[in-house]
């Protein structure tokens, strides 16, 4: 079932059938109707591979992200997918499971799949072999959540946000504010937020206390120990919502009440956070919008036959939600 069948059946040439689907205004209305009717009747749709081979554009976007198990990325992908669909693009998502090696192979795979462009969330834009490769190949791409001077990026200013979080907690009366973060080495987002924490702590004239949780599937024993000791922190700034949720669980199991004994705030603003019995405090990012904006940027560039550059980067606004897991400390530390 090819274009030829339609052409024959409609009594026209293949060129005309092609025009009906690509430049409808260049075909007389009657012919067009006839062709469309035949196509519908025999259930013909232009073959995407043939079209891609001929035009050298696939209308497919490759998406590289760490995982779908963190709702942040699922929400982002959803926004991205919707926008892509709206503009007639398909997406091929690939997850890297936070493994650097997979970043490179994901990009290679997508390149072989002839994607027109890519949206990626990488571990660290500064030292990403995958990005270098993309740039050299001249393949259009946009980063999401990452931030870097020389790459086109869509995200929020995490550093400023976390500094603000610390300031707010301090103004609530917290004098011992700790940070709980995932592995700093594998994520420039975590690093960004960490810098914000340090800046905030310094501005508040306090001492920093950072707990780095080694694995993706976080083991929180260290946190429980920290919370158990004298002069334990009264507030926890977590570098993402999943970590915040787990921290709250660990605290609760250690007999602490949240937020009376311990305030906890996360980062990301995953939708679920608002549905919990205790609304999760968080730096709320517009995740779907980040995805959507990345898609828009990329597709706009594609249609201009251009490549997005650092100048196209967008910094989107975040909002601070203290939720129901943050409050003034019940017992203020003595002098």
Partner DNA sequence: CTGTTAGCGCTTTCAT
Partner DNA sequence: ATGAAAGCGCTAACAG
Q: Which does 19 bind (CB under 5 to 8 A by kind): DNA, a second copy, none?
A: DNA
Q: Give CA–CA dist 71/22, Å, rounded.
A: 38
Q: Give CA–CA dist 300/6, Å, rounded.
A: 33
Footprint (CB under 8 A) of a second copy, residues 167-226: none
Question: Rounded to the nearest whole angstrom, what is the least distance from the CB of residue 320 to DNA in the complex?
Answer: 49
> Which of 8, 33, 47, 69 is in the footprint of DNA by CB under 7 A?
47
Q: Which is nearer to DNA, 27 or 297 (CB)?
A: 27
Contact between 50 and DNA per CB under 7 A:
yes
Q: What is the DSSP track for 236-303? A: EEESSHHHHHHHHHHHHHTT--TTTT-EEEEEE--GGGGTSSSPPEEEE--HHHHHHHHHHHHHHHHH
Footprint (CB under 8 A) of a second copy, residues 249-288: 249, 252, 258, 271-272, 275-278
Q: Which is nearer to DNA, 9 or 99 (CB)?
A: 9
The DSSP H or E segment spanning 34 is: helix 29-42
Q: Which does 217 bind (CB under 5 to 8 A by kind): a second copy, DNA, none?
A: none
Contact between 4 and a second copy per CB under 8 A:
no
> Which of 27, 84, 299, 327 is in the footprint of DNA by CB under 7 A?
27
How many binding residues for a second copy (CB under 8 A)?
A: 48
The region of 14-22, 70-78, 217-225, 233-241 touching DNA under the rule CB under 7 A is 14-22
Q: What angle do CA 224, 263, 174 make, to 5 degrees?
A: 105
Q: Look at strands 281-284 and 319-321 and give their pairing.
A: antiparallel
Q: Which is nearer to a second copy, 30 or 217 (CB)?
A: 217
Adjacency order of strands within the sheet including 281-284? 210-212, 177-181, 235-238, 263-268, 281-284, 319-321
Contact between 18 and DNA per CB under 7 A:
yes
């Amino acid at each position: 079932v090819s274009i030829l069948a339609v052409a024959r059946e409609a009594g026209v040439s293949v060129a005309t059938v092609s025009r009906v689907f690509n430049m409808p205004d260049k075909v007389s209305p009657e012919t067009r109707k006839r062709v469309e009717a035949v196509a519908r009747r025999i259930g013909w749709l232009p073959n995407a591979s043939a079209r891609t081979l001929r035009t050298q554009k696939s209308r497919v976007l490759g998406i590289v992200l760490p995982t779908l198990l963190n709702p942040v990325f699922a929400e982002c992908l959803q926004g991205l997918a919707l926008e892509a669909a709206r503009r007639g693009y398909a997406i091929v998502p690939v997850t890297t499971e936070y493994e650097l090696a997979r970043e490179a192979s994901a990009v290679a795979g997508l390149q072989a799949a002839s994607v027109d462009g890519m949206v990626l969330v990488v571990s660290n834009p500064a030292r990403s072999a995958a990005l270098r490769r993309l740039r050299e190949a001249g393949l259009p791409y946009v980063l999401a959540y990452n931030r870097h001077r020389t790459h086109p990026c869509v995200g929020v200013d995490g550093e400023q946000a976390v500094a603000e979080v610390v300031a707010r907690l301090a103004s609530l009366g917290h004098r011992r504010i700790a940070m709980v973060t995932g592995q700093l080495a594998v994520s420039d987002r975590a690093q960004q937020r960490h810098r914000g924490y340090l800046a905030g702590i310094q501005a508040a004239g306090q001492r920093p206390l950072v707990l780095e949780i080694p694995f993706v599937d976080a083991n929180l024993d260290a946190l429980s120990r920290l919370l158990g000791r004298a002069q334990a922190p009264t507030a926890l700034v977590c570098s993402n919502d999943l970590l915040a949720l787990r921290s709250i669980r660990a605290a609760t199991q250690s007999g602490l009440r949240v937020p009376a004994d311990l305030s906890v705030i996360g980062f990301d603003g995953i939708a679920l956070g608002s549905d919990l019995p205790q609304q999760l405090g968080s730096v709320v990012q517009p995740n779907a919008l980040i995805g959507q904006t990345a898609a828009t940027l990329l597709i706009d560039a594609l249609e201009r036959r251009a490549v997005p550059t650092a100048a196209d980067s967008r910094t989107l606004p975040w909002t601070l939600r203290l939720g129901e897991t943050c409050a003034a400390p019940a017992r203020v530390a003595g002098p």
